[in-house]
A and B are shown apart, each in its own frame.
Chain A
Amino acid sequence: MKTSTPTEARAIIDNATPPKKIQFRKLWQTFGPATIFLAVFLMISAFNPNFLTSGGMGIVATLSAPILMVALGQAIVLNVGSIDLSNASMSLLGAILLALALPNFGVTSPIIILLVTTAFGIFNGFFVAYTKVPSFALTLGTLGIFQSGALVFSNATAVYVSDNKDFLGHLHTTKLAGAPTTFFIGLAMAVILWFVLRYTKVGRGMTAIGLNETGAVYSGLKNRGLKVVAFGISGFMSGLGSLVIIAQSGSASPNGLGSDLLLPGIAAAIVGGTSILGGATNPINVVFGALTVSMIPIANAVLGVNAQAQSLVYGLAIISIAALMLNGSRSGIVK
């Protein structure tokens, strides 16, 4: 979809942004996510003071854990200028496979699942990088395959973990300052990914591809390999999402916890300051994005909006924040 020839890419560079706009966007990308988080947080606390005293933030952290996992993966993929529409369905399939594997393989099964989902991600990345198909179309295809996989392996019903569920369950029940361990794993991953993006060759390379792929190729960057790595990370994070789903609910079903992660994941990445055009993300801000997105149902309830309408809010959030961040930043062709 967003394919362009080198000439078009040059045309876009020629029409570069006036510096003032860039500064606003930079400012937004650094402080915006935390500001939005604080604003929503204060609004909820003002309307309902119980939120502060009755461990509301602990609930938000719990809700945000699976969203944070897929959002971090999505942020890495968005950072190279692609999108992964299959990551949520990958998490769900992983959770179902994990529920089936736990009784037989015990402690090794989470590792197996992480390897499997990472392989799925690499599969996505391989196709995007080497056959040059648009990522949204390819991952829409793999989304269908993973969905089918989830239905087939679960026989379209809930799969309960019959044995060995405790050691994963501890990740959910062991709490620090009201938040479950699963959230802190996400937080740790955010810090690791931030470090990778900021200080490693691989991370800098991925950002360079997102900023200007033609330029990156001419500079000798291995653009295809780096894209595979980005999608591989997304797969790995989806696998962590699977672990969180099983830790939290002890079961997995094709339409249970995790089946609606795609949009919250993208919303969290974008609210977290990730650019949909690539080249700009900060995993630590994505944590704020995930927390904000998890507060949306609570904010809806506090404001008296139909709680069912949360997809409307997610949709509006994605469009308006994408619009806000892009405003005036590109005068080239938009498809």
Chain B
Amino acid sequence: MANNNSGTITPSANTAAISNRINWRRLAEPSALIATLFALIIIFSILNPRFASVENLRNLMDQAALPLIIGVGATLVILLGSIDLSIEGIMGSAGLAFVLLSANSRSESDFGLLALLAALLTGIIFGLLNGLIVTKVKVPSFVVTLGMWFVGLGFATVLYGTETIPVLTNPEVSSWSSTLTFGAPNSFWAAVFVVILGVITLILTKTGRSIMAIGNNEVIARNSGIRVDRIKITVFALAGLLSAVAGIIAAIKLGSGSPSVGLGSLFITIPAVVIGGTALAGGKGGVLRTALGVLLLTVLNNGLILAGVSPSFQSGLAGAILIAAIVFAAWSQRDRLRIAK
């Protein structure tokens, strides 16, 4: 219950009633999401029988993989009450770094696993910069990460240069993400691995509990001896790392390097986190909820396309869902004195 209290002081007489309501909501929100997910699956299966086929199921897993991976990082950042808008920029930089250092059509040099490490490091550095500027220079995260989004894209464009498109030449690398292991694509297993790690970090580690505490009430967390700045920097670095992982997988999927490899990722991830029930104000939510949100949006996008709706509507739909979700979440707190910027 303490974790769900959004930082306001509650008179003790009401505590019991409030804890009841929160317990109810805790169960009701995910159940409603799961019910919606099943309803969508049934509707789309009726609209187009191909929706429920094994191939499309693999398709769905593959499509959900990237937002799942990014979603874990985004959830941790949002739980702090901050935001990370730099996802697509970091994906572009890391993906391109990976392609250029692996065996590709542009250069002979193949650094193998070192390429992977270098790409991941790129993501960590961008994330660290985000965290350091937010905590040490005290610039709000939405401005820092908005800037870093385009710094990442610009960096990727510089790496890309004006030569020919760098294509991955090692077939083992370029087919990795779609190769099936135990019937599911590798990209999906990577996502499952990241989600499990995310859940463990958030629930079982000191860092995870500190994240929730900071999101709930930063002043109290700081006064209780939590190293707020250090946790924040760690979380932004983690989010950068996960964006890099997603960027590498996206580049592998594409088979070549491109600065815009992450295009549209932000638009699935942030709505997915919010739909899952993680509050933008921080301190409430979780990684599994985000996973549910990602599955819901992926099924919706995939099903609509199979039902014959033009992909032009996708970002609009995600936008409308995002608005509905944030308005719904903020509805009970729309007091005139509450300040939302």
Q: Residues on A close to B: CB < 8 A?
A: 1-6, 8-9, 11, 81-83, 127-128, 130-138, 140-145, 147-149, 151-152, 156, 213-214, 217, 223-224, 263, 266, 276-278, 306, 308-319, 322-323, 326-327, 330-331, 333-335
Contacts and interface: CB of A to CB of B under 8 A. Distances in A.
Contact of B312 (A130, A134, A152, A223): A152
B75 to A, nearest CB: 15
Interface in B302-341: 310, 312-320, 322-323, 326-327, 330-331, 333-341
Contacts of A322: 139, 143-144, 147
B112 interface: no
B95 interface: no
Nearest to B266: A140
Contacts of B161: 306
Given A214-B339, A266-B146, A334 B323 contact: no
Rank and list the top 9 A-B pairs by shortest CB-CB distance, nearest first.
Answer: A312-B154, A144-B319, A148-B316, A315-B150, A151-B312, A315-B151, A319-B147, A141-B323, A141-B322
Nearest to A319: B147
A2 B341 contact: yes
B78 to A, nearest CB: 9
B267 interface: yes
A312 B155 contact: yes
Interface residues of B, number: 68
Interface stretch (B193-201, B274-282, B285-293): B274-282
Given A81-B341, A312-B157, A312-B158, A136 B150 contact: no
A21 to B, nearest CB: 13
Interface string B136-170: 01111111101111111111011011100000000
A314 B83 CA distance: 20
Contact of B82 (A1, A6, A278): A1
Nearest to B313: A148
A15 B146 CA distance: 27
B80 interface: yes
A335 B157 contact: no
A313 B151 CA distance: 7
Given A148-B315, A308-B154, A315-B147, 7 more contacts: A133-B326, A141-B271, A143-B319, A144-B319, A148-B317, A317-B147, A326-B137
Contacts of B151: 311-312, 315-316, 319
